[in-house]
Every structure is written in C-alpha cells, then in structure tokens.
A and B are shown apart, each in its own frame.
Chain A
Amino acid sequence: MPFGKMLWCCIGTISMSLPLAAQNPPAVIPDTTSAINSRQPLSQRVVAYDIDAKYDPSSHSLEATEILTYHNLTGQPLDTFPFHLYLNGFQPKATWVREVRQSGTRDEDLDDWKAKFYGAGDIKSFEVVGQGDLTSQLQFIQPDDGNKDDRTVVQVRLAKPVPPAGFVQFKIKFHDQFPETLARTGWKRDFLLAGQWFPKVGVWWHGAWNCHQFHATTEFFADFGVYDVRITIPQNQVVGASGIQVSEVNNADGTKTLTYHGDDIHDFAWTASPHYKVLDDEFQSSLGTVKLHIMMQPAHWSQAARHALILKQSLDHFERWYGPYPYKTLTMVDPEAGSAAGGMEYPTFITGETTWWVPGGLLLPELVVEHEFGHQYWYGMVATNEFEDAWMDEGINSYTEVKVLDSIAGKNTSILNQWGIRAGERQEQRRGYIGAANLDPIAQDAWKYYSFGSYGGITYGKTASVLLTLESIIGEDTMQKSMRTYFMRYRFTHPTKEDFLKTIEEVSGKDLRWYFNQAIYGSQLFDYEVLRIDSSPTDWYKEGIKEKKGETEYTSVVWIHRKSDFVFPVEVQIKFDNQESVREHWDGRDRWIKYTYQKRAKILSAEIDPDHKILLDRNEFDNSHTEKAHKAPARKLTNYWTFLNQLFSQVLAWFMV
C-alpha cells in the first residue's frame, strides 16, 4: 500500500473511531467468525450494521436505530453515500408501483390501491459520527428513471470525505411502516416478513456508486459485512432471522429482545408470527455442522419433514458439485398463506411456499426450497449485481436448480409425478423461455425488460436453457467443473458477467464467444426444423417397377432448415427401415442443408438433436419428421378433449334443463 494511502487510512481510522468509543460500537469492522464454520472471515468486509429495532405488531411498524460502520476500500476519498430505502417502493407514485401497474409483477396485481399496501422507511435522524447531524442534508435521488416521486434512494454528502481505507460511522434513527405484503416484504394478518427493512448503503463498484432505485423486477445488491441485530417484540411471537441467535431476554413489559449475529453476509431479514411450529435439524457439511431451522405454518406441519429433506439434499448436492456451505445456520420459513412472501432468499434465510393440500407427487414445495437455497450460492455468496445482472443469480440458480432436481427426482418428473401426469423442471424452464424468446437479450438491466413476463422468461428460463444447452458443447462434466471453479473463485465477491463467461471458457479451454454473443448478449432466435424427408426408388423411371423391401434401391433425401438467426451446430439422426441409423453433423451456417443417401432402405425418420441436449430450440415438434404418420398422440389428446367437451355439455344440461 502506498505511504499516502496508509496515512489516510490511519488518520481516517483514528479520527472516526475515537469519539465513538464510549457509546457506539468501535468504528472498525469486526473480524468475528461465530456465525460461520471458519476461523477467518470469508469476505472482504466493507460494512458492519448494528441495529436495535422494536416492532409493534398492532401497527405493523418498527422503530430502530442503526449504526453503520463503513470501511472505505475504494482506494479514493468518498464524500457522498447513497442509501437504499426499499420500503418506500410501496407508495402509489413510486417507481416500483408504477412499473407493477405497467408490466406486472410476480405476486400481487395492483388493480386498486389500498391504504394497507403503503410502506415506508422514514429516516428520523441521520448523524455522521464526528460530523454531526446531517438529516437536513439528505436528498432523494432517482438515478434510473428520474421519477421525482420515487424515494427509494437517498443520498448524503459529507462535509469531510472519508479517506481511502478509512472508516465512517453513520447513526441512523428510522421508522418502518410495513405494507401488507405485495412482494417479498411486509405483513399478512399477524405474520411479518421483514426484508429490506433498514437503510442500506450502496455498493462502490467499478469506480462509482451502484445504488439503483427499487424496481418491480429488481432485487438487491450490497456489500459483505457483519450484522448485529437486536429485535424487541411481544413475547408470543416466534422469530427467525439471518445469522445465529445469540440471546433471548424477556423484558418486563411483555416483550422480549432477541439478538442475532451474522458474519460475511450482505443482508439481514427476519420473520415473526405467533403461529410458527419449528423443526430443528442438522446437516454435516465438510466445514462443520449446519443447523437447520425450519419454521412451518401449523397447517403445513405434516410437510416439515419434506422441507427438511429437500434442504439437506440441496446442501449435499451443492457441496459436492459447487463448494461447501460455510454458514452455521440456515433458516427456512414457510410464510403465512396468501402473503406474497414465499419464494424469497436472504443470506442464511429463505422462504418456501406450499399449501395444505399439496400431494406427494407435486414437488412445488421442493422446487421452491431448492431454488431459494440455491440463492445462498448464486447471490448469497457469489454476490452478483441483481439490478444489472439478474440472470447471474436467477438464471444461474435456475440452471443449478434443474441439475439438482433432475438428480433428486428425475429429469421428466422433477415437478410433477402424480396421477400419471408428469412435468420436469428443465422443460418448464424451457417453456418459460420460449414464451418470451424474441423480446429481450439476457444481458441487460433487470428493469429494462419489456414486461415482467419477459424478465421472468429470459432471466430464469432462457438462462437455464442456455446453460443446459452449453453442456452439449463443452460436456456436462466440464460445465460442472466450470461452475465449481466460478463459485470457489468468486464467492464473497461481486463478479461480473464476463467473470462468469470467461471462467467457463477457461475451464473448457474453448472459445465460446460465438455462443455467448448470440445466447447471452443477443436476442437471436433458435429454431431448426426437419423441412422434408423423401425416399423414392432410384430406378423410378423404369416401367413396371415393383418395390420390394430390402431389394429396391431408394434415393433418400433429408432437408434440414435453420428457420431463424441463431447459428448453432447440430447433430441429425436419420433412421432407415432396415434398422440402419446415420448421424450427421451440421454446422448450421447455411440456411439449410440436404443429405442424400442411396440405400436399399427407405427413410423412417430424421431427427435434429437426437440426444435432446439442446433446450434453446423454440419448437421441438418440428425437430423431427417421421415418414409415416403416427396418429396415436393426437388421438389420445382428442379423446381427452372430446371427453371434456361431453362432460361440460352434460353438466350444463344437468342443471339448465
């Protein structure tokens, strides 16, 4: 480190920490490791949050004091600091609400605005230790859309910059009004999911502050650090939170104070409800014991074991395939029914989603739990920018979700295997993508997608399909090695999309730009078809020719067509009626290709991608063509449809006449 920087560092550290010693936590980032199975900190800790919060369930509001210690590792003096106030997104003129009304969201439709949807994170006072009260200096900014009514990012300019390597401490008093859950955070009846509930500093990334507004399609981005959180709440509440629980003390006023501590995490969420039933379990990872804290709704208690099992299976698969889970706890929350808080991830804390009637063959609870657990890796530890690279958490996670669920429940049955009906997660991811295939590229800011549907289809479905298809190019084992290398190399950092793509190229030893440019950066459509097959006697011109199987020579032709603009090499398998099978490899560069054969056999069928490794093709039905029509599948569906028609007619007539 240059001498100048060291000097700044020392001055900064001393000047910021001295006045605080008596009443505040020291202005350093603690190197505690009590919440992780490691003797050393795992991340470059930039922040330390010390929060004292008191929650009032009757008003769904919270009063809190936050002391945030920030370590300036940017290499330059910092005089402005932006903070997220996510709860302000739940206001009628906020960008989040505006976008939900325009493009939809994953949870509630906002047809009507109701007072109970209102949420707010109000800063009551803002003090920079050593620089005095700067509450009046706070300024809301709207870096993404200029919506002056959006108050989800607030910025403060300091009188004295924080030197490189120096520390600064913010003392913030704030009041939260939680909304009835519209998405991810808030209350429902007497349940609370407190996510994104405290003022959270932005991330200095690539030479600038990265602190986006809260959008309908975006999630979060934050620096790693240490969290010490004290929650005071009525004694009848059952509480779960990120990190480890340090203590629980009953107070004389009927409340209790629970203290939590988290190491090497970048967010802190908690939940409370008087109804939770808790199952505690354990998983032995290679680094130590992971305590599983499973908080179920009473109506779902019979599914607690299902949730525990899928958590342990997920932990096991991720550890073997990608790397170890280093935290000492993992809390799985089954949120209140209808709360729109299901299927969400926070560090060491996830929410599942189930219903009381879900049958054993419908694996939606498993799917949600596995997916959210996967985010412990892709977002939790490999902390990508969820605003700008949503595909790197949701998409990569969808890919690993397919791999893990395939392994656990089978390729074609990983979602549903009940009453003879099947559904597999890989096909479901692909289905999500083909519905939005031509609208957006993968690599773009999450709030710039055409619609929520496009965001979902591309970010989740297309990314998963792209990575599954990539296996056909570099091999499944190499892909798994790439993922492991990526995880181990970039855990506890903020990698970019190029970090990910270059890792795959490095591990595979292949230049994959041709693929990434189309699949990740482009919006080319992938669509191949067997255009035509034909077999006719070679001596067709001879009079009185009689065709005899095995004797007559046929000239057979197969035309393969690239219908759209995504160029990709494909295998083609041609089967003949003498049991012979031929495989062709086409680079896909021309618009079509013709294969001609002269054999004493007719073509039975031609099929593109016979091993079914390509998930990007938006129409699988025309990827094969049989010489003979096989009417059974259509007849089967027609039978079902006719049955339903008859049933509907009879039910209608039953009551009406």
Chain B
Amino acid sequence: MVHHVMGVEGYYPTLIALWLLPLAGAIVNWTFGPQLRRTAGPLASAVMLASFIGTVMLWGVATQHQSSGGVDLVGAHQTLMSWIPGFDFGLLLDPLALLWTLIITGVGLLIHVYSIGYMDGDNAFARFFAYMNFFVFAMLTLVLSDNFVGLLVGWGLVGLASYFLIGFWFFKPSAVAAARKAFVINVAGDVGIMFAIFAIFASVHSLSFADAFAYAGSYSTTWLFIICLCLFIGAAAKSAQIPLHTWLPDAMEGPTPVSALIHAATMVTAGVYLVARCAPLWSQNQDAQVLVGTIGGLTALLGAILGCAQWDIKRILAYSTMSQIGYMIMGVGVGAYEGGVAHFFTHAFFKAQLFLASGIIIHALHDEQDVRRMGGLLKKLPFAFVAIATGVLAISGIPGFSGFFSKDQVIYGALAHGYPWLYALGILTAGITAYYMCRLLFVTFLGSYRGQIDPSNLGIRHPEFAGTPHPASAGGHPSTSSGQAHLAHLDEEHNANAEWFMIVPVAILIPFTVLIGWIMFGGENSPWARFFAEQFPHPALLATSISEGMTGLITFVVVLAGIGVAYLRYATASAQSNAVARLRNESIRMPGILSNAFYFDAALDLLFVRSSELLGRFFGRYLDPHVLDGAVRETAISAQWLGTLTRSFQTGLVRAYAFILVFGAACFVAYYAIVAGGIH
C-alpha cells in the first residue's frame, strides 16, 4: 500500500519547539510552583509568547504549496518517530493547523497575561498556570498531529486539562460536580472518535490523515457515514452540540480566564477543527453533511434561546458560545468550510474579549455573577463597557464588525450548498443572538447599581445558587461574602498592577474584534479565501436566488429587530427606572422549560444516570450477593461439608483402618469372583 503524505516533509525545529515549550512550562510550574510563587504567571506567559513567535515564524512554511508527481502538498510536515513500523507520528502544519495554532498561542498568550491579574492572590497561582500551559500543549498536540491517534491523544488531554481547570477551585462541590460532568461527557466523545479510528483502520490499514483522506472515495457510503458519525460524536461532545452540550454551561464554574481560553476560544472549537480537518471525508457523504449541518443549526438556535433565559453573566456567554459553535459546526457541516472556520477565527477574539471583560466585572464586584445584581456599571467600569459593547456588536453581526463577515459566510454558505432551512435558521438565530447579547449589555451597564438591593426583590430565589460562585457564601450576603478563604487574600496582598494585567490583553483584543473580519471581505480574492485556497474541497456552489449581499442585509434587519426588542425591554427610560420590578417579574415568570434548559439535563439524567443507577442497584442487590458471592459461598460450604464427611473415616483407630483394608480387599475379591466371573 502506498503511503500518502500531506505537507512538505522537512526538519522544522521551530515547530517541535513551539509544540513542546508549553509542556516544559507546565512541568516547571508544576514542579517548582512553591518556589516560583508570583513568577509562575510571567513564566507561563513567556512560554506562550515564545510559542506564538514560533508560530508566526512558521507562517511561510505552513502556507507553502508544492505540486510533485501529481500530488498537492500544502504546509509543512515533520516526521517525529515511527512507533510501529509503517505508523509514523508526525506534526503537520498546514493553513488549517496554522490558524488554530495562531489562536491557541496568540489568544492563549493574552489570556495568560490576563490571568496574572485575575488569579493574583490565589493560593494555587502556580498550579493554575501549570494547568493552563498543559492545556495549550494538549491543544497543540490535537491540532498539529498528522494522524488520528495523535489527534485522539490531544483530544483526551484537552479534556483532562478542562477537567483540571473547571475543578480548579476544588473546595466548591459545584465545581467538582461540573468538572466531573464535563469529563464524563467528553470521554463519551473520545470513545466515538476511537470507534471512528477503528473503522478507518479497518478500511485503509493506516492511521494517518493523508491515507485516510486519499482513500476517502473508496469507502462504501454506509461505512463512510459510520466513520463520520463516530467522529461527530466526539466533535459534538467536545464542541457542546446537542444533546451533549449540557456540560458547557456548568463548566463556567472554573476561573473566568479558563472559560475564555478553553470553553470559548479554543477547546470547544476542536469539533469544528475535526470536521474541517476531515473535510475530504465529509464532502464525500451527503448524509453526514445533513446530520452535522442540522445538529449545528439546531444547537445555534437552542443555545440562543437559552441565552435569553439566563441571569448568570458567564452562563449567558456559555450559551452564546454553544450557539456560535453551532454556527461553526453548521458551516463546516454543510460544506462551507472557510465560513465555519472563519467564524471560529472571529469568535475566538470577540468571545475571549467578552469573557475577559466579564471577568473584569466579576472581579470588581467581588465574585458577583448575577446580572440582576449589577446595573449602572457604565460609569463604574467604562473600560469593561467598551469591551463588552464591541464584543456584543461583533457577536450580533453588525456590519463592519468581525462577527458580521464570518456569520454571513456561514449563513450564506448554508444556502449556497443547498440547505435553505439552515439558512433561515441561521438568520433567525442571528436575531435572537442580538437580543440576548444586548439584554446582557443593557441589564449590566444601564440603569442604577442593584447590588445593595435584597436579592428576593430581584426575583432571586436561591441566592446561593443564583449567581454567586462560592457555596461558602450561602448564609451571608452573596456579593460581600468573604467566606472564600482563597479570595480573601485578594484584598490583602493586592498586586497594584493586577488591573493592568487584565486591561491590556482586553485592549489588544478590541481592535481584532472590531476589524479582523475585513480580511474576509472580497469574496474569492479576499486574503481569507486565498489563505485556504488549497486546503478545502470546493464543490460547485448552487445558484442562489438571494445574493450574499442581500443575505447580509436581511440578517442585518433581523439583528436590528433583535436589538430593538432588547432596547424596548431593558433600555428605555421607563425600563431603566423600573428595572428592579421588571427583572423580578421576568425572573418569576420565566417558563420552567427555559429555566430548566429544555430539560436536557433531566432527560440525560433519566436516560443514562438513572438507568445506570438502576442497573447498579440490580447488580448490587441481586447479582452480586446471590450469584457472585453466592457461588463463592456455596463452594466454601460444599468443601466444608465434604470435609466433615471424609473426616469421619479418620478415626485414628488402627484396628478400624485394618478392617477397612480387609473390607476393601474383600470387595476386590468379590468383584472378580462375582461380577467379572472368576479370576482368569
């Protein structure tokens, strides 16, 4: 069998270095954390900076393009080792991997710097940065691997890093539960990918992307669909697509920089990467495209609807992340790979910015996360307002802002690839997105500060669960509690520069959030399209009755409608003056189906958790004590019974033994004399 290659083979020490540096940083921070103390953060950030510079230096080789012997080679390939003869492990840096690596190291660098300020005063400062560096290493393994096994290794390791970081404050039972939930659901996804690998290996006897894609046309349709389905189970678990999305909102238990880096910008988009990487498989199978596109579109809509019903600022952003990843998955699912990946690219900037800015608010309000207890922050935190406002404009898709260009590519891509219902879904979702993001903006920043108002007047029924992140504060006033031992430090040994560490990374992100979309402007001649010209399959597009410009206009009108509704409900003068009563009414009248997130948790609980419990209880009550233990016990009892029986022959009396001997001999004689008919 001919082994295929992707990328120009060569020796790229920079590539190996940028991949392994974060691992080294993690090991150093892990090992020497107590000695490093406050320098852990700058050290981890320096590692990220080096990694980012390395990535930028490799831009040229990553985008190189060679045609040799009728084979197109895009990007750089470095063989590292051959773990079984014929199965090479290597790094592949092509435009797709380069894009992800740039975001992982670049946005990752900014979030590391931000964390120096945000985590200032935390007892486990070094441990946090060890985890963060470890995550970056794992994520780089995922995107740089040239084969499915390496991808799965990275895939599992990012899940582990996510588990570490969601449960970073392990003294909070809710954080531990969220970490466990995320890990379990992600492992379910890992198993999906593992089965996909089995299926691929069974058909091509190779694990490299190049071989799997080169023979993509030779799989049977059903077999290819099974492979795509298994891969997508992994992608859906990692990227929070329905019905495996329930872990993402809970994952907000982790520190806010973690939410920004892992649960918004990078790790949760691994599913998008996987589908985009396996574009040669997907583009061969219509069913897989329909499946992934539909799930993506539904997730986008569902996440947006649920975003309207949340009060926790981080959970609103979590549902918006889920919704935006839905867009990306829809884009790569229907075959608009550039569009889906473009939305990943812009989303990484504006969502990281939104999360980091919300972190500034949370930090300033001493761990208050409930937007009902905010309000009037415009004057207090003008910088956070600017950051969140530009983020909201970008995510809503206001023309000119980055989100507009990428979202438009996805929505129009759905139409151009022949999925009009996903097109309509995308436009509808854009309107809802604009509504709930503006709701977040208006409720948080307009009106007057509501932090001093009794929570029950705001319709907060259980202050300990509503928005306060730490159960330790359950008894007291949620926002002023100092029950959190680790955060109490914050005020005592406050780093004077902590705020700047938080402000500067956000300030760097703002211009990207606003402007980066313009690289996608200009259709096929845009820098974006040329960057990916050799990367993805380009099937002929359908002639559409609605042009791309017209789509942008329709979307814009729907978005304006969404903003208008949010304005009427939360930003008019009367809404601002009656904010307390209105928020209270909205909280109390929230339909159960929304406040329970469409009962997905309950359904999964019933389907998997309860049924496993039932099975476990059956085993515990019947199978284990009666069948397994019973078998052991019965063996022991029968051995004992046999012993008692044979023991009775051992009288210890010599004459009795003699009698038995004689009796035995007599039996022999009798046998030969009577039964065998005499001795011959």
A binds B: no
